[in-house]
Amino acid sequence: MQITQSKDLFNKAKNFIPGGVNSPVRAFRAVGGDPIFIKKADGAFIYDEDDNAYIELINSWGPMILGHNHPMIREAVIKAMENGTSFGAPTAREVEIAELIVAMVPSVEKVRMVNSGTEATMSAIRVARGFTGRDKFIKMEGHYHGHGDSFLISAGSGAITMGNPDSPGVTKGTAKDTLLAPYNDLEAIETLVEANKGEIAALILEPVPGNMGLVIPKEGYLQGLRDICDREGIVLIFDEVMTGFRLSKGGAQELFGVTPDMTTLGKIIGGGMPVGAYGGKKEIMEFVSPAGPVYQAGTLSGNPIAMAAGLTMLNYLNDHDEVYTQLNQIGGKIVAGIRSSLEGLGLDYTVNHLGSMYSLFFTNSKVTDFASAKHSDTALFGKYFQSMLRQGVYLAPSQFESLFLSTALSDQLIGKILEANNVALKEIHQ
């Protein structure tokens, strides 16, 4: 495999773009080596500027659940573009997608479209504060909710990978209203709630966190949070930017049967275009301007091209339950194969898995929260990542991420992934 164009582009990019990339984790800092620059993607593959093909296990960090460049979505976008790219005025498609989201996501009775997951979570917290008249909120260690100031405290994803989970530039005044708790620990929440009685507006979490690597909620944990929030008048927010429309049609909330008060969405909802959304109970969403006093707006919100892509994606998922059966089978086969390789090689690493998301953690202990995720040997992960890349399999370039599978992965490709995995595991232990 020859990689020259990507190297040249990265060297040039560093002159004009901070770190050479427009989002930190893309720089491959955590795994060593230079990032590959992508020219195109189709189905289960992405192609770099040197025309090397890689099997995709990230899928644009989640959105491409049906694989890349799906003809149905491509055609919807091209058709929408024939009528103009932005109006800054309401359109029929926005009504249609809102109605569909309300039908698909159990907690959502009203929804507002925005342009990213970051905007969705920032807005949801503001609305929860406006609704309750309280300032503080609880966030889980190692969870990532985008780059809004108040979330960059013990943040996951690229923030852990880059070693700055608490970002400079966030004022002490802002940080003091973010209360931190370990994930999967109801006692810790009870203690925080007791110490801040009547002052907590919201509890936000990734119901199934993917931003410290994939971690599964303990039995009864999500329901326990629901009960505490009900008792204390705290707005429970599920950040389903990753899990929404992925773990099931209605996201983690549908899968686990626990309905939050508000939900934030992103990724799949835009079919690969820049889209986010936040929604929830009517009485809460009625606080959003112009229905209510909490301000939130966007020049490009509900953009007609983005809505065409998102609507096509959601309609397809809503009409095809078999997508989820297929994704679960694909995930099951890959993870069973990895576990069997590990066993064959006498290795005892942890694999966390749910549906079409999984993480292989280079630690022998269980990973149930941020502290245990950090036991992973990140240097070993870097070597594993590079070996997989050389063999034509594209993974998330950090230990602290989940992988996102698509329906484009055939049995033959799964075989290739598992072969590469076995070679990589052997290689890194030589």
Least distance between ligand PMP and beta carbon 54 (Å): 20
What amino acid occupies position 375?
H
In the shown chain, the binding pattern of residues 126 to 165 toward ligand PMP, with x for contact by CB under 6 A and - for none, equals ------------------xxx----------x--------
Residue with Cβ nearer ligand PMP (93 or 246): 246
Range 30-89, binding ligand PMP (CB under 6 A): 61
**267 is known as an active-site residue:** yes
Phi, psi for 316 (deg, rounded to 5): -65, -50
Would you count residue 382 as binding ligand PMP (CB under 6 A)? Answer: no
Would you count residue 266 as binding ligand PMP (CB under 6 A)? Answer: yes
Query: Which residues in 144-183 belong to E strands, given as ranges?
Result: 178-181
Would you count residue 217 as binding ligand PMP (CB under 6 A)? Answer: no
Q: Cite the DSSP H helix spans in 296-391.
A: 304-319, 322-344, 370-373, 378-390
Least distance between ligand PMP and beta carbon 396 (Å): 10
Provide the 10 A C-beta neighbour count for residue 171.
9
Least distance between ligand PMP and beta carbon 23 (Å): 7
Phi, psi for 161 (deg, rounded to 5): -55, -40
Distance from C-alpha of 188 to C-alpha of 149, rounded to nearest angstrom: 23
Spatial CA neighbour of 46 closest among 60, 56, 57: 56
Range 275-304, binding ligand PMP (CB under 6 A): 276
Residue with Cβ nearer ligand PMP (252 or 424): 252
**50 is known as an active-site residue:** no
Tokens of 164: 């700055």
Would you count residue 331 as binding ligand PMP (CB under 6 A)? Answer: no
Determine which helix (DSSP H) or strand (DSSP E) holds 364, and give its type and residue range. Answer: none
Distance from C-alpha of 240 to C-alpha of 252, rounded to nearest angstrom: 7
Contact 182, 188 (CB under 8 A): yes
Residue with Cβ nearer ligand PMP (177 or 206): 206
Query: Which residues in 134-287 belong to E strands, given as ranges?
Result: 136-140, 178-181, 200-205, 235-239, 262-265, 276-280
Would you count residue 400 as binding ligand PMP (CB under 6 A)? Answer: no
In the shown chain, the binding pattern of residues 193 to 212 toward ligand PMP, with x for contact by CB under 6 A and - for none, equals -------------x----x-
Handedness of CA 135, 141, 147, 152 (dihedral sign): positive
**144 is known as an active-site residue:** yes
Q: How far is CA 314 from CA 41, 91, 197, 250, in A?
A: 21, 17, 40, 11
Residue with Cβ nearer ligand PMP (67 or 146): 146
Which residue is nearest to ligand PMP, using beta carbons? 117
Q: Which residues pair with 238 in a beta bridge?
A: 205, 263
3-state secondary structure of 81: helix
Among 43, 117, 165, 251, binds ligand PMP (CB under 6 A): 117
Among 107, 118, 368, 387, binds ligand PMP (CB under 6 A): 118
Least distance between ligand PMP and beta carbon 242 (Å): 4
Residue with Cβ nearer ligand PMP (118 or 399): 118
Contacts of 409 (CB under 8 A, 6+ apart): 44, 55, 330, 334, 417
Residue with Cβ nearer ligand PMP (178 or 341): 178
What does the binding site for ligand PMP look like in residue numbers (CB under 6 A)?
61, 116-118, 121, 144-146, 157, 206, 211, 239, 241-242, 266, 276
Q: Which residues are catalytic?
A: 144, 239, 267
